[in-house]
Amino acid sequence: MGPLAAACASEGIRRDTGIVSWLYWPNLVTIDDRVVAKAGLSLAPAPGLEGKTRVTMDISVNCFSKGSSALPSIDMPTTSILEALGVEIDVDLLRDKILHALNWYYAEWERGMHRKLADRIQPTIAWLGRSVEVRTRGGSSVKGMSKGLGDLGSLLLEQDRGKKPRTLAVRPDAVEFVLVEG
């Protein structure tokens, strides 16, 4: 579910402003290769609802600030919607567009339409099909050709192992950052 929050932010930005934004899997949104939004996800047991999980999504969109002050620490250039669009926006309308996308995406998730969601999100990732290095939260890294998303949103990396390439699925919650090579 992690990449869904960022995908909803990207869709909300596009619907509200018309600006083309891209999902920088798993949790960033970019405009012209600069970060404009970041999404986070946390899971916890739901109090009083045995077997249920409470999901909290944190979506930060830089609407007005110049530079990186409105986004948590990110090792990429940043922008704001004001910089990209040239005018201020109504943040309530942007919030509503993001929540509308989240409502729709979550309904699809609940119905088990994970492959459909992955297929919807894939075209919004500009670096799919390119060589990447995935840095994990554990401090390791893995390199490969980004081939697409698995049914549950994992990044599929094809690693060249001589005559027999292998495909590795990298879960979004294990990723610290993705570096696009070349």
CATH architecture for segment(s) 2-124: 2-Layer Sandwich (3.30)
User: Which tops the pLDDT comparison, 78 or 1?
Assistant: 78
% of the chain residues with pLDDT over 90: 70
Q: Give the model confidence (pLDDT) of 126-162 as tens digits.
A: 899 999 999 999 999 999 999 999 998 999 999 987 7
- DSSP string for residues in 78-128: B--HHHHHSS---HHHHHHHHHHHHHHHHHHHHTT-HHHHHHHHGGG-TTT
What is the per-residue burial (b if ≥16 Cβ within 10 Å, else e) of 74-109? eeeebbbbebbbeeebeeeebeebbeebbeebbeeb
Output phi, psi for 128, to 5 deg: -60, 140
Tens-digit pLDDT profile for residues 94-128: 999 999 999 999 899 889 999 999 999 999 998 99
Cβ contacts of 97 within 8 Å, gap of 6 or more: 11, 12, 13, 15, 16
Which residue's entry shows tokens 């799919």? 128
The pTM of the whole model exceeds 0.85: yes
Mean pLDDT of the chain, nearest integer: 90
pLDDT value for 57: 87
Residue type, 44: A
- Sequence length of the chain is 182
More confident residue, 115 or 72: 115
Beta bridge partners of 77: none
Q: What is the mean pLDDT of residues 79-97?
A: 95
Sorted by sequence, the CB contacts under 8 Å of residue 20 that are 6+ apart come out as 14, 31
Q: Where are the domains of the chain?
A: 2-124, 131-180
SS3 140: coil
